[in-house]
Chain A
Amino acid sequence: MSANLTLRIPNRVEELSAVSEAVEKLGREEDWTPDVSYAVVLALEEVATNVVRHGGGEEGAAEIEIEVVSTDTEARIEVRDSGKPFNPLHDAPEPDIDAALEDRRIGGLGVHFVRVLMDEASYLREGGRNRLTMVKRRS
């Protein structure tokens, strides 16, 4: 089995629940396990939220393009935007997950999820666009 999903959304966080719903539906149709589905939806939300927050420009004024390809062996996710150059895999802070409650800061958790839950993640700046690709293997 193989299926594709391509979505173009304005750069607003309010758009992201519809993205999650569409990806969960794809996962159901493609028989993803609950773990794979949660990981893909989460990684995608975190990356897209970063694009909205750090992409620069006015919220809603630019477009984010999301592509999810599901095959028998993996789910491949690509997020493309024409905001300012931003490589979350490199530019986001590492969270201190060992800190005590009173010292714990919140930044960087989203990218930490991407690093831990995805099997591959890579960033490319190409033709004036950011392109983040992530792969989640299905077994």
Chain B
Amino acid sequence: MNVQAENHDGVLVAKVEGRVDSSNSQDFERQLQAAIGDDIGAVVMDLGQLAYISSAGLRVVLLVAKTLGQRNVSISLCALSDPVQSVFEISGFNRIIRIHDTQADALAAAGK
């Protein structure tokens, strides 16, 4: 698992690669918090290269989304593979975190 951060005009894109499970979810949380930092207007998590996530990883996504929500920073997800999309739907997370098909869609929405 690896998180890479890119700044797109004030929107932070965090690209998550690999697998997030209960054995590395703490590392995932640390990497994500470090990537996001303090001075950011919006966050897009690009999950296009995320092969697998379990409830341990979803817990981290939820925690980060809640923290950003309290700071009035928007967060959205994009480019989920079909199995990862199913997991977000079964969790009901697709109803509390906006999910876009592509990073371009997510960036366009975040820039508004």
Contact = CB atoms under 8 A, between A and B. Distances in A.
Contacts of B62: 101, 104, 106
A112 interface: yes
Given A41-B52, A97-B91, A16 B66 contact: no
Given A16-B23, A98-B92, A38 B83 contact: yes
Interface residues of B, number: 26
A14 interface: yes
A94 B21 CA distance: 21
Interface residues of A, number: 30
Contacts of A98: 92, 95
Contacts of A110: 54-55
Interface in B21-60: 21-24, 52, 54-56, 58-59
A41 B83 CA distance: 12
Nearest to A48: B22
A35 interface: yes
- Interface majority SS on B: helix, strand, loop or mixed? helix
Given A97-B92, A98-B95, A109-B91, A34 B19 contact: no
B97 A49 contact: no
Contacts of B21: 16-17, 20, 45
Interface of A: 13-17, 20, 34-35, 38, 41-42, 45-46, 49, 52, 95, 97-102, 104, 106, 109-110, 112-113, 116-117
A42 B59 contact: no
A91 to B, nearest CB: 16
Contact of A17 (B23, B83, B95): B23
Contacts of B59: 106, 109
